Amino acid sequence: MATKARRTERREEPLSRERIVEAAIGILDAVGEGGLTFRVLAERLATGPGAIYWHVSGKEELLGAATEVVVTGTVLGGAGGASPQEVIRDLALRLFDAIDAHPWIGGQLARSPGQSPTLQVFERLGRQVQALGVPRPARFTAASTLLSYILGVAGQNAANAHGQESEQDRTEFLDGVSAAWANLDPDAYPFTRDVAEQLREHDDRAEFLAGIDLVLAGIAASHAG
């Protein structure tokens, strides 16, 4: 405590919305959506809950901001001169991987249509739909369908991300579901039983992309005829 001895200005690093959102993302990635509480967040930032509320209006805004940071980082930067189909596939896969890395985004995206992150994706999809040569009145439907499909997969992936960190957890999970499907009532669930074995060796990412291709094929077919 020499002269005035503020060895650090006021704090090591002042609180800021940016630092709060960053810490929130860290917690969300580490312990999931349910693990983010203002108490934990305050502890991690070495402060109290009240201080956080001065920078952020509440939990909803915090989750929204966290989602926006990740999604914006994901949506920007992508394929260059490829075909519109390729750009859409690339964007979709980048989103899929981002949701895989941060499962909480899935639930958040699915729950907040019209918000900035969803809009960003919609815009990117729409531009490529336009580049695809889809006539103007059909563009909205085409872009919305792609978006809804992506959000649907996102929500399911987010829900499935319960305690499967490793590759092994994942295999066990698929084996379990596959076995459960194979044991369903044959009269009530013939189809599900029939595809149960396909589930065991299935690759979520490839399956997701195949769905994108299906929609793209539908878009192409619809404005060809």
Partner DNA sequence: CGACTCTCTGGAATGCCGTTCCAGAATCAG
Partner DNA sequence: CTGATTCTGGAACGGCATTCCAGAGAGTCG
Binding site for its own copies (CB under 8 A): 107, 110-114, 119, 122-123, 126-127, 129-130, 136-137, 139-145, 147-156, 158-160, 177, 180, 184, 188-192, 194-195, 198-199, 202, 207, 210-211, 213-222
Q: Are 21 and 58 in contact (CB under 8 A)?
A: no
Give the torsion sign (CA, 97, 103, 109, 115). negative
For the bound state, the minimum distance from the C-beta of residue 119 to its own copies, rounded and expressed in Å, comes to: 6
Nearest CB to DNA, comparing residues 31 and 138: 31
Count how many Cα atoms sit within 13 Å of the Cα of residue 102 in the half-sphere of its side chain. Answer: 21
Pick the binder of DNA from 1, 54, 136, 221 (CB under 7 A). Answer: 54
Q: Tell me how far apart the alpha carbons of residues 32 and 27 are, in angstroms, rounded to a whole number.
A: 7
Q: ∠99-104-108 over CA atoms, to 5°?
A: 95
Q: Tell me how far apart the alpha carbons of residues 183 and 192 are, in angstroms, rounded to a whole number.
A: 10
**Binding range to DNA, per CB under 7 A, among 7-15, 22-30, 186-194, 209-217:** 7-15
User: Which of the listed partners (DNA, its own copies, none) does 6 bind, with a CB threshold of 5 to 8 Å by partner kind?
Assistant: DNA
For the bound state, the minimum distance from the C-beta of residue 22 to DNA, rounded and expressed in Å, comes to: 14
Neighbouring CB atoms inside 10 A of 167's CB total 8
Q: Which residues bind DNA (CB under 7 A)?
A: 6, 9-11, 14-15, 36-40, 42, 45-51, 53-55, 58-60
